C-alpha cells in the first residue's frame, strides 16, 4: 500500500504552522512545504515533538518547475490531505497596483495551488481531502484588496467545481474561510492593524481539523470563521 501523508503548503509560519501542529497531534505523517527551509524545519521540530513523522520540501509556488520537483519528491505517497494554505496579500489601490503585483498574487494564490492539485489528485484515494485556506475576502469587499479578493474568489470557485468532480471518487473538497487572523501577513499590509484583536491561527487550524476529522462519508463543504469583533 502507498504511504499516506498530509501535505501542507505555507507551513513555515502563521496558519500553516498551526495546521501542522494540529494534525501532528493526531499522530499523522506530514509533508511540509514553503520557501523558508529554516522556518519549515522549525515547524517540523514542533510537529515531531507532538509525535508526527515529518518531511520538509522547499518549493516556491510561483515557480511551476519547483512544483513539479515537489510532486516528484512525493511520488509513492498517496495524500490523505492536501492543505492549500500558502498565500500572499498585496494590498494597494488600483493606481498603485502593478502587473507584477497582480501576477504574483495569481501565481502564488491560484496557479501554484492548481499546478500542485492537478499533480497530486490522481494518486489520492477515497477518504482523502483537499482543503483550500481561503479568506473572507472571497466574499466581502475591502478597498485596496482587489488582487487578493480576486485570487481568493477564484480559488473558492475552483474548489467548488472540484468538489462536484471529485465527490464520486470519495475525495472531499473543502473551503475554509477565515477572517482576520493574527499572523505575520499583516506586517506587509499598509495601515495600523491590532493583531491582538484578531482571531488566533489556532482557531483556523481547529476548523481545518474539524473538517478533516469527520467520517469519510461526511463532507464539510465550507467553514467561515472569524473574531466576534468583525472581519478586520
Ligand atoms: N492572516 C489572516 O488574517 C488571514 C485571513 C484569511 C485568510 N488567510 C489566508 O491564510 C493563508 C495563510 O496566511 P498566514 O496569515 O498564515 O500568512 P503568513 O504568516 O504570511 O504565511 C504565509 C505562508 O505562505 C507561504 N508562501 C508565501 N509565498 C510563497 C511562495 N511563493 N511559495 C511557497 N509558499 C509561499 C509562506 O512561506 P515561505 O515564506 O516559507 O515561502 C508562509 O508559510 C493564506 O492563504 C492567507 O491568504 C489569512
Distance (Å) from CA 1 to ligand 1 centroid: 33
6 as an active site residue: the answer is no
Question: Do residues 2 and 115 touch, judged by C-beta distance below 8 A?
Answer: no
Query: Which residue did the predictor score with more confidence, 1 or 219?
Result: 219
Q: Of 20, 2, 24, which Cα lies nearest the Cα of 11?
A: 20
Name the one residue in this structure whose C-alpha cell is 508526527: 52
Domains in the chain: ranges and CATH: 3-225 (3.40.50.720)
The H or E element containing residue 212 is: helix 201-213
Q: Where residue 187 falls among pLDDT bands split at 50, 70, 90?
A: very high
DSSP 53-122: -EEEEE--TT-HHHHHHHHHHTTTEEEEEEEE---------TTT--HHHHHHHHIIIIIHHHHHHHHHGG
Q: CB of 31 within 8 A of CB of 55?
A: yes
CA distance 43 to 15: 11
Q: How far apart are CA 62 and CA 105, in angstroms?
A: 9
- Give the tens place of pLDDT for each residue, 129-161: 999 999 999 999 999 999 999 999 999 999 999
Selection from 65, 103, 102, 106 nearest residue 87 by Cα: 106
Ligand 1 atom nearest to 84, measured from its CA: 45
* Residue 230 binned pLDDT confidence (cut-offs 50, 70, 90): confident
2 close to 77: Cβ distance less than 8 angstroms? yes
> From CA 60, how far away is CA 126, in angstroms rounded?
29
Report how far ligand 1's centroid is from the alpha carbon of 109 (Å): 9
| Long-range contacts of the stretch 157-164 (C-beta < 8 A, 24+) | 158/110, 158/113, 158/114, 158/132, 159/130, 159/132, 159/134, 162/117, 162/130, 163/219, 163/221
Per residue in 75-124, pLDDT tens? 999 999 999 999 999 999 999 999 999 999 999 999 999 999 999 999 99
**Res 17 pLDDT > 90:** yes
Around ligand 1, the residues with Cβ closer than 6 Å are 10, 12-16, 34-36, 39, 60-62, 85-89, 108, 133, 135, 178, 180-181, 183-185
pLDDT band at 1 (very low <50, low <70, confident <90, very high): very low
Distance 183 CA to ligand 1 centre (A): 9
Probe residue for ligand 1, chosen from 32, 34, 70, 222 as the CB with the greatest number of ligand atoms within 8 Å: 34
Distance 125 CA to ligand 1 centre (A): 27
- The whole-number pLDDT of residue 2 equals 58
Q: Which pTM value belongs to this model? A: 0.98
Confidence of residue 232 (pLDDT cuts 50, 70, 90): confident
Annotated catalytic residue, options 11, 17, 54, 148:
148
Which of 7, 8, 9, 10 should be mutated for ligand 1, with most atoms under 8 A from CB? 10
Kindly report, residue by residue over 27-81, the tens digit of the pLDDT.
999 999 999 999 999 999 999 999 999 999 999 999 999 999 999 999 999 999 9
Residue 229 has pLDDT above 70, yes or no: yes
Residue among 112, 47, 38, 53 nearest 82 (CA): 112
CB 4 within 8 A of CB 81: no
C-alpha cell at 132: 483550500
3-state secondary structure of 199: strand
Amino acid at each position: 500500500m502507498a504511504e499516506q501523508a498530509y501535505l501542507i503548503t505555507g507551513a513555515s509560519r502563521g496558519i500553516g504552522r498551526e495546521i501542522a501542529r494540529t494534525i501532528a497531534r493526531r499522530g499523522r505523517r506530514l509533508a511540509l512545504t514553503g520557501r523558508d527551509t529554516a522556518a519549515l524545519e522549525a515547524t517540523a521540530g514542533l510537529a515531531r515533538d507532538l509525535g508526527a513523522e515529518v518531511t520538509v520540501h522547499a518549493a516556491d509556488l510561483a515557480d511551476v518547475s519547483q512544483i513539479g520537483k515537489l510532486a516528484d519528491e512525493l511520488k509513492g505517497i498517496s495524500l490523505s490531505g492536501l492543505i492549500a494554505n500558502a498565500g500572499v496579500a498585496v494590498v494597494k489601490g488600483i493606481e498603485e497596483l502593478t502587473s507584477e503585483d497582480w501576477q504574483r498574487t495569481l501565481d502564488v494564490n491560484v496557479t501554484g495551488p492548481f499546478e500542485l492539485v492537478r499533480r497530486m489528485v490522481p494518486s489520492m484515494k477515497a477518504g482523502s481531502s483537499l482543503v483550500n485556506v481561503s479568506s473572507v475576502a472571497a466574499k466581502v469587499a475591502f478597498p485596496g484588496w482587489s488582487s487578493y479578493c480576486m485570487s481568493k474568489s477564484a480559488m473558492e470557485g475552483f474548489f467548488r467545481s472540484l468538489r462536484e468532480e471529485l465527490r464520486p471518487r470519495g475525495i472531499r473538497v473543502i473551503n475554509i474561510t477565515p477572517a482576520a487572523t493574527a499572523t505575520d501577513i499583516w506586517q506587509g499590509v499598509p495601515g495600523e492593524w491590532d493583531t491582538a484583536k484578531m482571531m488566533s491561527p489556532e482557531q483556523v487550524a481547529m476548523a481545518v481539523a474539524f473538517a478533516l476529522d469527520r467520517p469519510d462519508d461526511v463532507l464539510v463543504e465550507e467553514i467561515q470563521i472569524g473574531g466576534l469583533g468583525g472581519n478586520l
